[in-house]
């Protein structure tokens, strides 16, 4: 199976700074795409705890809090923001013109 390089998932300006939303990445993978001060980050949409929607979570700095049970993850790398926590996968992102593109796993993403 060939891994696609990047696919268009949103337009610049569709996601306000400090917010996230559900997008469908390569292979129809549900991802949470966040705007952190004009930089875009993508992580797995589904929280590993009980399947909560991370794209609907609240963002404080680079840390998203799952709206269901409060698990927290750094959107830049998918890692828990505390020792011993579970991680989620983080994905490559880039902007080309007005298009926000998401690729596959970031190197070292272990979620």
Domain extents for the chain?
7-105
Binning pLDDT at 50, 70 and 90, where does residue 106 land? Answer: confident
**What CATH number was assigned to the domain covering residues 7-105?**
2.102.10.10
Residue 57: Cβ within 10 Å count: 24
DSSP 106: P
15 to each of 21, 41, 91, how far by Cα in Å?
A: 7, 11, 17
Interval 56-96: pLDDT, tens: 999 999 999 999 999 999 999 999 987 778 899 999 999 99
Residue 37: what pLDDT? 95
């Amino acid at each position: 199976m060939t891994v696609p390089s990047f696919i268009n998932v949103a337009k610049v300006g569709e996601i306000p700074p400090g917010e996230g939303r559900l997008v469908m990445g390569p292979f129809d993978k549900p991802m949470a795409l966040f705007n952190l001060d004009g930089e875009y980050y993508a992580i797995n949409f589904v929280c590993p705890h009980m399947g909560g929607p991370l794209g609907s979570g609240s963002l404080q700095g680079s840390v998203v809090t799952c709206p269901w049970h409060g698990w927290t993850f750094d959107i830049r790398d998918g890692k828990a923001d505390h020792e011993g926590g579970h991680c989620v996968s983080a994905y490559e992102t880039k902007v080309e013109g007005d298009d926000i593109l998401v690729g596959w796993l970031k190197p070292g993403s272990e979620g």
